[in-house]
Amino acid sequence: MILEKLKLIKSFGTSLDSAVAEADIAAKEKELGFPLPEALREVYLTFSPEDPIFSTWMNLIPLDELRTIVLEDRDKHGAVLPFFRNDTWLCSALVGSFLWKKLETQVLFYDVDLNDPPVFLSYREPKSKKEAQFFEMLSGNYLSHETEDPLSLWLTAYLGIMQVYSQPSLLILNKRHEWDWAYQKRLSALRQEGKYHPVARLEYHMALADIAYLRLSDQPVLEALSGLQPIPLPHSARVQAYGAQTDEALEEVVQALGVSVCWLRSQTGKRVFQVKPPEPPQERELLSITPVLEFLREFAGITRAGAKEESIQRAEARLEAPLPQPMEEFYRCLPSSFYRSCNTIRPLSGLKKAKDGKLNFLEENQAVYHWAAELGSPFVYRRPNHGAGEWAPCGILDGFLAAEFLWAVACAEDSELELWEFPDFAPEMLEPGGLFDTHIQGIAGISQQIAVGNERTVYQSVDGGSVLLHDRSEQTLFVLSKDEAAVNQLLAALGLPTEPMDA
């Protein structure tokens, strides 16, 4: 069914052969009481569970460990056969009949195509009550949910991506402005010249990324695959990743395409992009951020009011303490329509002091982290959303909230502002004497003071047409402008090439 595609994917990796024979599969099928789906049979005949491809984020369950499990909860009942697993997920194929209660008054039974069944994703058995609540919150049903893809398509897409990310050298193009007409034209020209030939194109219904993989040979081959992007890179929209056995092969791609990249893995000491916790900040006195927030409101043309005085008073009465000053100012200035434009901001009515004293006020847009404040403390705290870890200080509340305000405004659907990203940005360009030095300045005279202890700093361009956000952890500079002309004006002042107005 997919054997040739599996051999192609395997050819980009190691020569580690499968130890599974047809007789082994026949014995397993007899034990299970049903034949394995054809695509899954072919995977076990092609790959070994010890292959490096399964050391990324999903592990192939060895054939002798295959067992069916029964999913039973308030909405779904049926048997599945897990074949991939990691610390959180089980990826399974549906087997036999399945019941799905779509509505309170409607129960649906359907039979599965045993030769190419749909894939079922289920959380592993939760290790704590908090984790079970987290799983249920994510999916509305912590046991399981079904994808729309048949097993054959799901396997080829995922295995292709996993092969890319298992390579010794790895880089990505992960910024929206790289997906312009000029980049597409260069890529198309390279393919037409025969330098890079797309030998396979696989579609995946949840496509968030275009994955590309370079094979080392006399005639390098670029294999393009579409699929999920599993590596947690904040604010990445569309991602194109290149993997190879050496850095030199990837440098050839970068030179040919003429674009900037982020290295995720390097064998020659290149600076590697890493998502890691910030260093714990030093305690300092909080500053008022109202001048910065009012500037951002005016820049973005926000006329709607934020939280009313009585709402703030009710929240403080319930908490039996005043809100930290920057948090009060944040709610006063940010209209509630921005609470879900990117990260989810908890409304004042939902602020509650937990047993540990934390005010959980912000959730990351992919439900990875929560952020909290603490009455009487200047710190912002962060912990994983499943609640298994401890709260750790990750910033200072004033500068953190000023940057979060800007990000909420930048990501709003109805915003008329243009958002540009400069990846792999060298921070020394913002320092005295750097390229940006004479073209940017602080906001309201305090934006650089409130950046102390935080990963993000906000600036404005001297010409007033742009607001900038530098994120040290992402190694990225974000530029928010009123229109494309304002961006080009800033780029021209910096001596950088401007973008075509019709791009």
3-state secondary structure 372-398: EEECCCCEEEEEECCCCCCCEEEEEHH
pLDDT in tens, 442-486: 999 999 999 999 999 999 999 889 999 999 887 788 899 988 888
pLDDT tens by residue, 184-202: 555 556 555 655 433 333 3
The pair of three-digit structure tokens given for residue 4, joined into one six-digit string: 């040739």
The full set of domain ranges for the chain reads 3-157, 167-265, 290-494
**CA angle 294-298-300, nearest 5°?**
115
The span from the first CA to the last CA of the chain, in angstroms, equals 42
The model's pTM is 0.57
DSSP string computed for 87-108 = SSEEEEEEEEEEEEEEETTEEE
Within 10 angstroms of residue 389's Cβ, the number of other Cβ atoms is 11
Assigned token pair, 340 = 């879900």
Instruction: Tell me the average pLDDT across 370-393.
Output: 84
SS3 64: helix
- Of 63, 68, 56, the closest CA to residue 40 belongs to 63
Which has the higher per-residue pLDDT, 212 or 453?
453
The CA distance from 310 to 365, in Å, is 29
Dist CA 433 CA 150 (whole Å): 57
pLDDT of residue 82: 87
What 3 state SS string does 410-461 have? Answer: HCCCCCCCEEEEECCCCHHHHCCCCCCHHHEECCCCCCCCCCCCCCEEEEEE
DSSP H or E segment with residue 215: strand 209-215
pLDDT score recorded for residue 146 = 58
Average pLDDT of the chain to the nearest whole number: 77
Q: Given this model, what pLDDT does residue 49 score?
A: 92
DSSP codes of every residue in 237-290: -SEEEEEESSHHHHHHHHHHHT---EEEE-SS-PPBP---PPPPPPP------H
Q: Which residue type occupies 137?
A: M
The total number of residues shown for the chain amounts to 503
The tokens for 17 are 């052969």
Q: Over the stretch 110-167, which tens digit does the pLDDT of each residue have? A: 556 678 888 877 766 666 665 555 555 444 443 445 566 788 988 887 888 788 888 8
**How far does CA 316 lie from the centroid of its chain?**
35
Q: Cα–Cα distance between 111 and 99 in angstroms, integer? A: 9
Is 104 exposed, middle or buried, given 0-12, 13-18 or 19+ CB atoms closer than 10 A?
Answer: exposed
The residue among 243, 332, 325 whose CA lies nearest residue 286 is 325
- CA–chain centroid gap for 465, Å, is 30
